[in-house]
C-alpha cells in the first residue's frame, strides 16, 4: 500500500513538473536520449499549455503547487546561492511558508493527548484557533494558570509519514539528477540531505526549546535584544510553550515610523547582535527573516529586538572564527595574499592549492569593491563571491560557513532596509575588537590550558615510561651503570613535577594571584634542583 501511495505521489510530481515546462531544463543539463524519450512518451506533455515565464518563476510556482514541504525545500534551496544560479535563488526566496491550519478540534485533541491530566490545570486560556500556521507547525495563543501569556507551538499531526514519503522521492530525484554531469555541481544529494536534517531538527521542538533557552542565557540582562522564556515543564517533543513576545514586525516600516523609532540605532543593534552571537557566544540565530523578528518600541530611541523561532541555529568552531576575522581584516588592508593563506590554513581549500593563483583570483573579486564607501559594501556578497571563487579551487564543503553567509546577507539586507547608510564595519568593529582582545588575553590562555588539562595530564603521564625506555635502550648500547640510570629517571620525574606546578600556577593566576605565584615559585625551585649534574 505504501509503495502504491509513493508511486501515485511520484506521478503527481511528474505531472506538475511537466505542467510548468520544467522538463525543458533537462535539455540544459545535457540529458540522455533515454530521458528525453521517457518524457516525450508522457501524455500530459502533449496537451499542456505553453507558459511564457522565466525558469525561476516556473520552479517557484511548481513548488507552491506541490505543497508545504516542497515550499520549505524551495526556501532551503534559496539559502544556497553557492549552488544555484542567481535568477533561481532570487525567485525561490519569494516562497511564503503560509499554509492553512489544521482544525481546532484536532489541535485540542493533540493537546489533550499530550497532557493526560488535562490542559485546564496548565492553561487558564487556550485559543484553539491558530494564530499562525506553517508547513511543519502552527502557533496558538494561550495563558498559563499563573497568568503569563504564552505561545503554544504544535507540530502538524501525521507529518512524519508525509515527510518520510516525500524525502524518499526527493532523494530519488536527486540521485537521478546527479547522473547529469552539469547538475553534479549543484550537489543535489547533498542539498536534499541538508534539507532532511533541517526538517528533522525542526520537528523536534525540545531541540528548538534548548536553542532558545541557551540564546536567552547568552543575552540575559541585555538592553538590545529580548529572547522568550521557555516553560520547560509543559514542553513536549511535539509541543513548545514559550513566553509570548509583543512587538512590531521589523518589516512594518510605517508602523515603526509612527512610534518614532531610531532606525539608525535599530540597524546598528542588529549588526552588533549578529557579530556578538557569532564571535562571542558561538551560537547564532540562523533563520533571521522578517517573520521571526519583532521590535519592542518601549524606548523608541533604543529599540529592542525580539526574536522568535529558534529551530535553525548555527555555530563556528574556533578555527573558523579566527580565520574569518583575519580575512575581513586582510580585505580592509587589501592583503589578498593573506586571505588566500587564511583559506588554505583553515582547511577550506586543499593545502596543495597554489597560493599565488588563488590570490590572483581573490584580487579579481575584491579590488572592484575595496575602495567603495563602507556603506556601499555588502559583506554578505563579499563572502559569497569569495566562497564562489574558492570553489574553483576545489573548496571543501563548509555548510556552517554557508549558513553564516546566508544569515549575514539577511542581517545586512534588513539593516539597510531600516537605515540605507548603515556602515556594517563601524557597527561590528567594537564587537570584533573586544573579541580580539579576549583572544589575546592571559585569562583566555589560562582558560584554554584549563580546558586542555586532561590531555596535558595524559601527555605528562606518558612521558616517564617513554623516557625510561629511551634510557634503557641507551644503557644497553653504552653499558650505562644502573645508578646513573636511576639518577636520570629521578631527575626526569622531578622535572615533570616542576612543569606540572608551573601549569597549575598559570591556571590559577586569573583567579588567585598570591596562590598562583607561590605555586609557580615551587615549580621553578623543583626545576632548578632537577637540573642534571654535569
Q: Which residues lie closer than 8 Å to 311 by C-beta, 6 or more apart?
A: 201, 202, 207, 208, 211, 287
The alpha-helical segments, DSSP class H, found in 67-158 are 68-78, 86-92, 104-114
* 3-class SS of residue 527: helix
User: What parts of the chain have a pLDDT lower than 70?
Assistant: 1-7, 23-49, 79-83, 96-98, 177, 179-187, 440-534
Phi, psi (deg, nearest 5) at residue 249: -55, 135
Residues constituting the chain: 534
Instruction: Give the sign of the dihedral formed by CA 529, CA 530, CA 533, CA 534.
Output: negative
Rounded-to-integer distance, Cα 415 and Cα 138, Å: 28
On whether the CB atoms of residues 358 and 343 are closer than 8 A, the answer is yes
Smallest CA-to-CA distance from 483 within 362, 375, 491 is with 491
Smallest CA-to-CA distance from 173 within 190, 184, 189, 195 is with 189
The CB density around residue 7, as the number of other CB atoms within 10 Å, is 11
Instruction: Give the sign of the dihedral formed by CA 442, CA 444, CA 445, CA 449.
Output: positive
Is residue 128 within a helix (H) or strand (E), and if so which, with residue range? none
DSSP 301: T
Classify residue 33 as exposed, middle or buried by CB count within 10 Å of its CB (0-12, 13-18, 19+): exposed
Rounded-to-integer distance, Cα 10 and Cα 166, Å: 9
Rounded-to-integer distance, Cα 472 and Cα 506, Å: 34
Quote the pTM value: 0.71
Smallest CA-to-CA distance from 198 within 303, 98, 311 is with 311
On whether the CB atoms of residues 193 and 168 are closer than 8 A, the answer is no
The CB density around residue 384, as the number of other CB atoms within 10 Å, is 20
The alpha-helical segments, DSSP class H, found in 281-376 are 318-332, 336-345, 355-370
Beta-bridge partner residues of 295 = 248, 305
Phi, psi (deg, nearest 5) at residue 380: -65, -45
CA distance from start to end of the chain: 87
Residues that are catalytic: 287
Grid cell in block for residue 256: 515603526
Rounded-to-integer distance, Cα 53 and Cα 74, Å: 18
Classify residue 170 as exposed, middle or buried by CB count within 10 Å of its CB (0-12, 13-18, 19+): buried
Helix axes 68-78, 55-66, angle to 10 degrees: 140
* Residue 494 pLDDT: 65
DSSP string, 393-439: TTPPP-HHHHHHHHHHHHHHHHHHHH-TT--HHHHHHHHHHHHHHHH
* Residue 486 pLDDT: 59
On whether the CB atoms of residues 429 and 264 are closer than 8 A, the answer is no
Q: Which residues lie closer than 8 Å to 116 by C-beta, 6 or more apart?
A: none
Grid cell in block for residue 473: 635502550
* Residue 136 pLDDT: 83
On whether the CB atoms of residues 23 and 48 are closer than 8 A, the answer is no
Beta-bridge partner residues of 226 = 306
What torsion do the CA atoms of 501, 503, 504, 506 make, to the nearest 10 degrees? 120
DSSP 236: B
Rounded-to-integer distance, Cα 366 and Cα 362, Å: 6
Q: Which residue's entry shows cell 513536549?
A: 236
Q: Which residues lie closer than 8 Å to 269 by C-beta, 6 or more apart?
A: 224, 225, 302, 303, 304, 305
Dmax over CA atoms of the chain, in Å, equals 99
* Residue 208 pLDDT: 93
Instruction: Give the sign of the dihedral formed by CA 174, CA 175, CA 177, CA 183.
Output: positive
DSSP string, 249-279: ETT-HHHHHHTT--HHHHHHHHHHHHHHIII
Amino acid at each position: 500500500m505504501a509503495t502504491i501511495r509513493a508511486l501515485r505521489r511520484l506521478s503527481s510530481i511528474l505531472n506538475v513538473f511537466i505542467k510548468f515546462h520544467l522538463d525543458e531544463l533537462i535539455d540544459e543539463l545535457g540529458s540522455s536520449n533515454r530521458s528525453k524519450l521517457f518524457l516525450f512518451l508522457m501524455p500530459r506533455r502533449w496537451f499542456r499549455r505553453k507558459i511564457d515565464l522565466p525558469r525561476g518563476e516556473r520552479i517557484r510556482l511548481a513548488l507552491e503547487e506541490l505543497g508545504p514541504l516542497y515550499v520549505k525545500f524551495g526556501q532551503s534551496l534559496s539559502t544556497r546561492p553557492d549552488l544555484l544560479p542567481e535568477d533561481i535563488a532570487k525567485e525561490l526566496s519569494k516562497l511564503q511558508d503560509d499554509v492553512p491550519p489544521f482544525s481546532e478540534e484536532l489541535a485540542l485533541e493533540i493537546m489533550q493527548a499530550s497532557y493526560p491530566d488535562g490542559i485546564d490545570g496548565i492553561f487558564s486560556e487556550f485559543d484553539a484557533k491558530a494564530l499562525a500556521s506553517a508547513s511543519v507547525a502552527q502557533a496558538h495563543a494561550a495563558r498559563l494558570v499563573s497568568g503569563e501569556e504564552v505561545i503554544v507551538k504544535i507540530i502538524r499531526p501525521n507529518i512524519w509519514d508525509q515527510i518520510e514519503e516525500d524525502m524518499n522521492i526527493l532523494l530519488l530525484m536527486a540521485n537521478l539528477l546527479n547522473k547529469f554531469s552539469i547538475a553534479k555541481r549543484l550537489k543535489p544529494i547533498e542539498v536534499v540531505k541538508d534539507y532532511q536534517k533541517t526538517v528533522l531538527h525542526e520537528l523536534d521542538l525540545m531541540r528548538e526549546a534548548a536553542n532558545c533557552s541557551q540564546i536567552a542565557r547568552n543575552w540575559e540582562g541585555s538592553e538590545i535584544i529580548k529572547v522568550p522564556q521557555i516553560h520547560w515543564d509543559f514542553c513536549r517533543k511535539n509541543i513548545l510553550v514559550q513566553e509570548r513576545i509583543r512587538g512590531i514586525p521589523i518589516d512594518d516600516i510605517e508602523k515603526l515610523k509612527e512610534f518614532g523609532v531610531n532606525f539608525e540605532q535599530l540597524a546598528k543593534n542588529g549588526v552588533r547582535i549578529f557579530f556578538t552571537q557569532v564571535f562571542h557566544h558561538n551560537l547564532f540565530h540562523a533563520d533571521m527573516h522578517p517573520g521571526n523578528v519583532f521590535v519592542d518600541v518601549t524606548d523608541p530611541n533604543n529599540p529592542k529586538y525580539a526574536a522568535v523561532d529558534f529551530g535553525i541555529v548555527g555555530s563556528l568552531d574556533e578555527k573558523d572564527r579566527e580565520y574569518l576575522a583575519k580575512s575581513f581584516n586582510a580585505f580592509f588592508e587589501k592583503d589578498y595574499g593573506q586571505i588566500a593563506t587564511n583559506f588554505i590554513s583553515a582547511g577550506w581549500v586543499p593545502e596543495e592549492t597554489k597560493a599565488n593563483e588563488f590570490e590572483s583570483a581573490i584580487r579579481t573579486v575584491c579590488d572592484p569593491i575595496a575602495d567603495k564607501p563602507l556603506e556601499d559594501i555588502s559583506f554578505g556578497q563579499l563572502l559569497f563571491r569569495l566562497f564562489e571563487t574558492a570553489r574553483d579551487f576545489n573548496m571543501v564543503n563548509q555548510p556552517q560557513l554557508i549558513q553564516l553567509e546566508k544569515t549575514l546577507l539577511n542581517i545586512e539586507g534588513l539593516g539597510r532596509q531600516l537605515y540605507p547608510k548603515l556602515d556594517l564595519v563601524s557597527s561590528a568593529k567594537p564587537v570584533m575588537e573586544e573579541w580580539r582582545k579576549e583572544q589575546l588575553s592571559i585569562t583566555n590562555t589560562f582558560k584554554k590550558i584549563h580546558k586542555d588539562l586532561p590531555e596535558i595530564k595524559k601527555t605528562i603521564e606518558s612521558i616517564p615510561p617513554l623516557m625510561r625506555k629511551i634510557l634503557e635502550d641507551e644503557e644497553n648500547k653504552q653499558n650505562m651503570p644502573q645508578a646513573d640510570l636511576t639518577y636520570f629517571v629521578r631527575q626526569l620525574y622531578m622535572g615533570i613535577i616542576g612543569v606540572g606546578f608551573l601549569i597549575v600556577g598559570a591556571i590559577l593566576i586569573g583567579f588567585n594571584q598570591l596562590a598562583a605565584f607561590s605555586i609557580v615559585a615551587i615549580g621553578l625551585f623543583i626545576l632548578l634542583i632537577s637540573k642534571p649534574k654535569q
